[in-house]
Amino acid sequence: MPAQRSDYRDILVVMDTTSQHHLSKPALETLSKARELGDQLGARVEALILGTSVDTLGETAIHMGADIVLLAAHESLTVGNVDAYFAAALPVIRERKPEIVLMSATPLGLDLAPRLGAALGTGALSDATKLEVDETERILIAKRLTYDGSVEAAATIPRHRPQIASLRPGAARVGFPDDSRYGSVENVEVSIPRGALKVELVGIEDAPHPEPALEAAEIVVAGGQGADFAQVRELAAALSGAWGASRAAVQFGAAPAERQVGATGAHIAPKLYVATGISGQFEHYYGVRDADTIVAINADKDAPVFRYAQYGLVGDAKEIVPKILEYLKRD
Protein backbone atom coordinates (compact mmCIF):
# COMPACT_ATOMS: atom_id res chain seq x y z
CA MET A 1 0.00 0.00 0.00
CA PRO A 2 1.43 3.42 -0.87
CA ALA A 3 2.53 5.53 2.11
CA GLN A 4 -0.11 7.87 3.51
CA ARG A 5 0.56 11.43 4.61
CA SER A 6 0.07 10.32 8.21
CA ASP A 7 2.90 7.75 7.82
CA TYR A 8 5.38 10.62 7.72
CA ARG A 9 6.53 12.19 10.95
CA ASP A 10 9.40 14.17 12.44
CA ILE A 11 11.89 16.56 10.90
CA LEU A 12 15.13 15.25 9.46
CA VAL A 13 18.05 17.63 8.99
CA VAL A 14 20.76 16.62 6.53
CA MET A 15 24.01 17.96 8.00
CA ASP A 16 27.41 18.09 6.39
CA THR A 17 30.78 18.59 8.04
CA THR A 18 33.72 20.86 7.38
CA SER A 19 37.07 19.60 6.15
CA GLN A 20 38.12 19.76 9.83
CA HIS A 21 35.27 17.31 10.70
CA HIS A 22 33.13 19.84 12.56
CA LEU A 23 29.46 20.49 11.90
CA SER A 24 29.32 23.38 9.45
CA LYS A 25 27.79 26.69 10.62
CA PRO A 26 25.01 26.60 7.97
CA ALA A 27 24.19 23.04 9.07
CA LEU A 28 23.93 24.19 12.70
CA GLU A 29 21.72 27.13 11.68
CA THR A 30 19.41 24.68 9.92
CA LEU A 31 19.36 22.40 12.94
CA SER A 32 18.40 25.35 15.17
CA LYS A 33 15.57 26.25 12.80
CA ALA A 34 14.46 22.59 12.72
CA ARG A 35 14.32 22.58 16.53
CA GLU A 36 12.13 25.69 16.50
CA LEU A 37 9.76 24.18 13.90
CA GLY A 38 9.80 20.81 15.67
CA ASP A 39 8.69 22.46 18.92
CA GLN A 40 5.85 24.17 17.07
CA LEU A 41 4.71 20.93 15.44
CA GLY A 42 5.40 18.64 18.40
CA ALA A 43 7.80 16.72 16.14
CA ARG A 44 11.15 15.12 16.93
CA VAL A 45 14.25 16.41 15.18
CA GLU A 46 16.57 13.86 13.61
CA ALA A 47 20.04 14.93 12.50
CA LEU A 48 21.57 12.88 9.71
CA ILE A 49 25.27 13.74 9.89
CA LEU A 50 27.23 12.84 6.78
CA GLY A 51 30.99 13.00 6.44
CA THR A 52 34.21 11.04 6.41
CA SER A 53 34.69 11.17 10.18
CA VAL A 54 31.57 11.86 12.24
CA ASP A 55 31.99 9.75 15.41
CA THR A 56 32.37 12.65 17.80
CA LEU A 57 29.55 14.84 16.50
CA GLY A 58 26.52 13.07 17.97
CA GLU A 59 26.59 14.74 21.37
CA THR A 60 27.09 18.20 19.85
CA ALA A 61 24.05 17.75 17.62
CA ILE A 62 21.96 16.61 20.62
CA HIS A 63 23.05 19.65 22.64
CA MET A 64 22.20 21.85 19.66
CA GLY A 65 18.63 20.55 19.38
CA ALA A 66 18.50 17.06 17.83
CA ASP A 67 16.51 14.27 19.52
CA ILE A 68 17.99 11.51 17.39
CA VAL A 69 21.35 11.58 15.62
CA LEU A 70 22.13 9.29 12.70
CA LEU A 71 25.85 9.13 12.00
CA ALA A 72 26.74 8.19 8.43
CA ALA A 73 30.42 7.95 7.59
CA HIS A 74 31.95 7.09 4.23
CA GLU A 75 35.22 8.02 2.58
CA SER A 76 33.33 9.49 -0.39
CA LEU A 77 31.34 11.95 1.74
CA THR A 78 33.72 14.80 1.05
CA VAL A 79 33.17 18.44 0.13
CA GLY A 80 31.73 18.75 -3.37
CA ASN A 81 30.77 15.11 -3.82
CA VAL A 82 27.00 15.52 -4.09
CA ASP A 83 26.53 12.09 -5.72
CA ALA A 84 27.82 10.48 -2.52
CA TYR A 85 25.53 12.57 -0.27
CA PHE A 86 22.57 11.69 -2.47
CA ALA A 87 23.37 7.96 -2.39
CA ALA A 88 23.82 8.05 1.39
CA ALA A 89 20.82 10.22 2.31
CA LEU A 90 18.16 8.75 0.02
CA PRO A 91 17.77 5.32 1.67
CA VAL A 92 17.73 6.89 5.15
CA ILE A 93 14.93 9.27 4.17
CA ARG A 94 13.02 6.45 2.46
CA GLU A 95 13.25 4.32 5.56
CA ARG A 96 12.53 6.94 8.21
CA LYS A 97 9.77 8.81 6.32
CA PRO A 98 10.25 12.25 7.83
CA GLU A 99 7.46 14.76 7.41
CA ILE A 100 10.00 17.50 6.66
CA VAL A 101 13.60 17.30 5.38
CA LEU A 102 15.78 20.37 5.81
CA MET A 103 19.29 21.22 4.71
CA SER A 104 21.20 24.43 4.24
CA ALA A 105 21.24 26.13 0.86
CA THR A 106 24.98 25.80 0.43
CA PRO A 107 26.19 24.66 -3.02
CA LEU A 108 25.79 21.09 -1.69
CA GLY A 109 22.25 21.63 -0.36
CA LEU A 110 21.11 23.52 -3.47
CA ASP A 111 22.17 20.55 -5.57
CA LEU A 112 21.05 17.82 -3.18
CA ALA A 113 17.54 19.00 -2.25
CA PRO A 114 16.02 18.88 -5.76
CA ARG A 115 17.69 15.53 -6.49
CA LEU A 116 16.12 14.08 -3.36
CA GLY A 117 12.80 15.69 -4.24
CA ALA A 118 12.80 14.12 -7.68
CA ALA A 119 13.86 10.70 -6.41
CA LEU A 120 11.20 10.72 -3.69
CA GLY A 121 8.45 12.01 -5.96
CA THR A 122 7.97 15.19 -3.96
CA GLY A 123 9.04 18.83 -4.25
CA ALA A 124 12.02 20.82 -2.95
CA LEU A 125 11.78 24.44 -1.87
CA SER A 126 15.19 25.96 -2.51
CA ASP A 127 17.06 28.77 -0.82
CA ALA A 128 14.42 29.89 1.69
CA THR A 129 15.21 32.97 3.74
CA LYS A 130 12.38 32.17 6.18
CA LEU A 131 10.90 28.83 7.16
CA GLU A 132 7.59 28.67 9.01
CA VAL A 133 4.96 26.02 9.64
CA ASP A 134 1.20 25.97 9.55
CA GLU A 135 0.69 23.97 12.72
CA THR A 136 -2.89 22.93 11.94
CA GLU A 137 -2.26 21.68 8.41
CA ARG A 138 1.33 20.62 9.21
CA ILE A 139 2.54 22.46 6.14
CA LEU A 140 6.05 23.85 5.80
CA ILE A 141 6.09 27.38 4.36
CA ALA A 142 9.31 28.50 2.67
CA LYS A 143 9.65 32.20 1.96
CA ARG A 144 12.16 34.09 -0.11
CA LEU A 145 12.38 37.27 -2.10
CA THR A 146 11.75 36.98 -5.78
CA TYR A 147 11.42 39.26 -8.83
CA ASP A 148 14.80 40.78 -7.99
CA GLY A 149 13.83 41.24 -4.36
CA SER A 150 10.62 43.19 -4.85
CA VAL A 151 8.20 40.43 -3.76
CA GLU A 152 8.34 37.93 -0.91
CA ALA A 153 7.02 34.64 -2.22
CA ALA A 154 5.76 31.83 0.00
CA ALA A 155 5.93 28.29 -1.36
CA THR A 156 4.60 25.03 0.06
CA ILE A 157 4.39 21.36 -0.86
CA PRO A 158 0.76 20.78 0.08
CA ARG A 159 0.15 17.17 -0.97
CA HIS A 160 3.43 15.26 -1.17
CA ARG A 161 5.72 14.05 1.58
CA PRO A 162 8.36 14.61 2.72
CA GLN A 163 8.38 18.38 2.42
CA ILE A 164 11.97 19.25 1.46
CA ALA A 165 13.54 22.68 1.80
CA SER A 166 16.95 24.31 1.89
CA LEU A 167 17.60 27.32 4.12
CA ARG A 168 19.92 30.10 2.99
CA PRO A 169 23.09 30.38 5.11
CA GLY A 170 22.74 33.26 7.56
CA ALA A 171 18.92 33.17 7.45
CA ALA A 172 18.69 31.54 10.90
CA ARG A 173 20.79 31.84 14.01
CA VAL A 174 22.71 29.05 15.65
CA GLY A 175 21.01 28.48 19.02
CA PHE A 176 22.88 28.15 22.28
CA PRO A 177 23.96 24.61 23.17
CA ASP A 178 21.98 23.02 25.99
CA ASP A 179 24.19 20.46 27.73
CA SER A 180 21.25 19.06 29.65
CA ARG A 181 19.54 17.80 26.47
CA TYR A 182 19.73 14.11 25.80
CA GLY A 183 18.84 11.88 22.87
CA SER A 184 19.97 8.82 20.98
CA VAL A 185 22.90 8.45 18.63
CA GLU A 186 22.88 5.66 16.02
CA ASN A 187 25.30 4.65 13.31
CA VAL A 188 23.89 4.25 9.83
CA GLU A 189 25.41 1.79 7.35
CA VAL A 190 26.30 3.67 4.20
CA SER A 191 26.80 1.83 0.97
CA ILE A 192 27.69 3.95 -2.02
CA PRO A 193 27.93 1.86 -5.16
CA ARG A 194 30.90 2.84 -7.32
CA GLY A 195 28.60 3.57 -10.24
CA ALA A 196 26.74 6.13 -8.13
CA LEU A 197 29.72 8.47 -8.18
CA LYS A 198 29.62 10.21 -11.54
CA VAL A 199 32.08 12.92 -10.58
CA GLU A 200 35.55 12.14 -9.32
CA LEU A 201 37.00 14.75 -7.01
CA VAL A 202 40.66 14.94 -7.85
CA GLY A 203 41.60 17.50 -5.20
CA ILE A 204 40.75 20.73 -3.47
CA GLU A 205 43.03 23.73 -3.63
CA ASP A 206 42.72 26.87 -1.59
CA ALA A 207 42.43 30.13 -3.50
CA PRO A 208 45.82 31.89 -3.49
CA HIS A 209 44.67 34.60 -1.06
CA PRO A 210 41.40 33.40 0.42
CA GLU A 211 39.34 36.18 1.94
CA PRO A 212 37.05 35.46 4.88
CA ALA A 213 33.57 34.46 3.75
CA LEU A 214 30.85 37.00 4.42
CA GLU A 215 28.29 34.62 5.90
CA ALA A 216 30.66 33.09 8.44
CA ALA A 217 32.30 36.32 9.64
CA GLU A 218 31.61 37.70 13.11
CA ILE A 219 32.61 41.18 11.96
CA VAL A 220 31.70 42.62 8.57
CA VAL A 221 32.75 46.02 7.26
CA ALA A 222 30.80 47.06 4.18
CA GLY A 223 31.04 49.96 1.81
CA GLY A 224 28.55 51.76 -0.36
CA GLN A 225 28.78 54.48 -2.97
CA GLY A 226 30.27 56.85 -0.40
CA ALA A 227 33.12 54.52 0.61
CA ASP A 228 36.73 54.02 -0.37
CA PHE A 229 36.98 50.26 -0.84
CA ALA A 230 40.70 50.05 -0.14
CA GLN A 231 39.87 51.50 3.28
CA VAL A 232 36.86 49.20 3.72
CA ARG A 233 39.02 46.15 3.07
CA GLU A 234 41.80 47.40 5.30
CA LEU A 235 39.40 48.01 8.18
CA ALA A 236 37.82 44.56 7.71
CA ALA A 237 41.29 42.96 7.80
CA ALA A 238 42.33 45.00 10.85
CA LEU A 239 39.22 43.76 12.70
CA SER A 240 39.79 40.17 11.46
CA GLY A 241 36.49 40.34 9.66
CA ALA A 242 35.10 40.10 6.14
CA TRP A 243 34.24 42.92 3.77
CA GLY A 244 30.99 43.51 1.96
CA ALA A 245 29.28 46.01 -0.32
CA SER A 246 25.95 47.58 -1.16
CA ARG A 247 24.30 46.75 -4.45
CA ALA A 248 25.07 50.19 -5.81
CA ALA A 249 28.76 49.62 -5.09
CA VAL A 250 28.59 46.26 -6.88
CA GLN A 251 26.79 47.83 -9.82
CA PHE A 252 29.48 50.48 -10.08
CA GLY A 253 32.19 47.82 -10.10
CA ALA A 254 33.71 48.58 -6.70
CA ALA A 255 33.08 45.01 -5.50
CA PRO A 256 32.20 41.62 -7.02
CA ALA A 257 28.60 40.35 -6.75
CA GLU A 258 29.51 37.72 -4.13
CA ARG A 259 30.33 40.56 -1.69
CA GLN A 260 26.86 42.10 -1.95
CA VAL A 261 24.87 42.28 1.26
CA GLY A 262 21.11 42.69 1.22
CA ALA A 263 17.83 41.37 -0.06
CA THR A 264 19.32 40.12 -3.30
CA GLY A 265 22.76 39.45 -1.82
CA ALA A 266 24.04 37.75 1.30
CA HIS A 267 21.96 37.55 4.47
CA ILE A 268 24.37 37.89 7.32
CA ALA A 269 24.15 37.84 11.10
CA PRO A 270 27.54 39.08 12.35
CA LYS A 271 28.18 40.31 15.86
CA LEU A 272 29.28 43.66 14.42
CA TYR A 273 28.31 45.26 11.10
CA VAL A 274 30.00 48.49 10.06
CA ALA A 275 28.25 50.28 7.17
CA THR A 276 30.42 52.97 5.61
CA GLY A 277 29.00 55.32 3.00
CA ILE A 278 25.87 53.19 2.70
CA SER A 279 22.48 54.92 2.69
CA GLY A 280 20.88 51.82 4.22
CA GLN A 281 17.72 51.48 2.14
CA PHE A 282 15.31 48.70 3.12
CA GLU A 283 16.77 46.29 0.55
CA HIS A 284 20.17 46.66 2.19
CA TYR A 285 18.78 46.45 5.74
CA TYR A 286 17.01 43.19 4.82
CA GLY A 287 20.37 41.43 4.62
CA VAL A 288 21.80 42.78 7.89
CA ARG A 289 18.75 42.90 10.12
CA ASP A 290 20.05 39.99 12.21
CA ALA A 291 23.37 41.66 13.05
CA ASP A 292 23.86 42.13 16.79
CA THR A 293 25.29 45.64 16.52
CA ILE A 294 25.27 48.00 13.56
CA VAL A 295 27.61 50.97 13.32
CA ALA A 296 27.00 53.45 10.50
CA ILE A 297 29.35 56.07 9.10
CA ASN A 298 27.58 58.45 6.74
CA ALA A 299 27.95 62.06 5.70
CA ASP A 300 24.18 62.58 5.71
CA LYS A 301 22.68 62.69 9.21
CA ASP A 302 19.26 61.84 7.72
CA ALA A 303 20.45 58.68 5.92
CA PRO A 304 18.02 55.77 6.53
CA VAL A 305 20.85 53.67 8.00
CA PHE A 306 20.79 55.81 11.16
CA ARG A 307 17.23 54.64 11.85
CA TYR A 308 18.45 51.17 12.75
CA ALA A 309 22.17 51.58 13.55
CA GLN A 310 22.92 51.42 17.27
CA TYR A 311 25.95 53.69 16.80
CA GLY A 312 26.27 56.42 14.19
CA LEU A 313 29.14 58.63 13.05
CA VAL A 314 28.10 61.56 10.87
CA GLY A 315 30.93 62.66 8.63
CA ASP A 316 33.16 61.81 5.71
CA ALA A 317 33.86 58.04 5.81
CA LYS A 318 37.07 58.59 3.86
CA GLU A 319 38.38 60.65 6.78
CA ILE A 320 36.81 58.68 9.63
CA VAL A 321 37.92 55.19 8.55
CA PRO A 322 41.66 56.10 8.40
CA LYS A 323 41.33 57.53 11.92
CA ILE A 324 39.83 54.26 13.18
CA LEU A 325 42.65 52.35 11.44
CA GLU A 326 45.22 54.62 13.05
CA TYR A 327 43.62 54.00 16.43
CA LEU A 328 43.59 50.22 15.91
CA LYS A 329 47.26 50.23 14.90
CA ARG A 330 48.18 52.14 18.05
CA ASP A 331 46.97 49.29 20.30
- 264 lies in the binding site for ligand FAD (CB under 6 A): yes
Is residue 291 at the binding interface for ligand FAD, with CB under 6 A as the rule?
no
- Can you give the three-state secondary structure of the chain, one letter per residue? CCCCHHHCCCEEEEEEECCCCCECHHHHHHHHHHHHHHHHHCCCEEEEEEECCCHHHHHHHHHCCCCEEEEEECCCCCCCCHHHHHHHHHHHHHHHCCCEEEEECCHHHHHHHHHHHHHHCCCEEEEECEEEEECCCCEEEEEEEECCCCEEEEECCCCCCCEEEEECCCCCCCCCCCCCCCCEEEECCCCCCHHHCCCCCCCCCCCCCCCCCCCCCCEEEEECCCCCHHHHHHHHHHCCCEEEECHHHHHCCCCCHHHEECCCCECCCCCEEEEECCCCCHHHHHHHCCCCEEEEEECCCCCHHHHCCCEEEECCHHHHHHHHHHHHHHC
| Using rule CB under 6 A, residue 175 touches ligand FAD | no
- Binding of ligand FAD at residue 277 (CB under 6 A)? yes
Part of the chain binding ligand FAD (CB under 6 A), chosen from 19-27, 36-44, 113-121, 314-322? 314-322
Among 150, 187, 240, 293, binds ligand FAD (CB under 6 A): 150
- Interface residue with ligand FAD among 90, 196, 216, 248 (CB under 6 A) is 248
Q: How far is the CB of 25 from ligand FAD (least distance, A)?
A: 21
CB of 132 to ligand FAD, least distance (A): 22
- 148 touches ligand FAD (CB under 6 A): yes
Q: Residue 225 Cβ, how far from ligand FAD at the closest point, in Å?
A: 4
Q: Which residues bind ligand FAD (CB under 6 A)?
A: 148-150, 224-226, 246-249, 260-265, 277-279, 281, 283-284, 287, 297-300, 303, 316-318
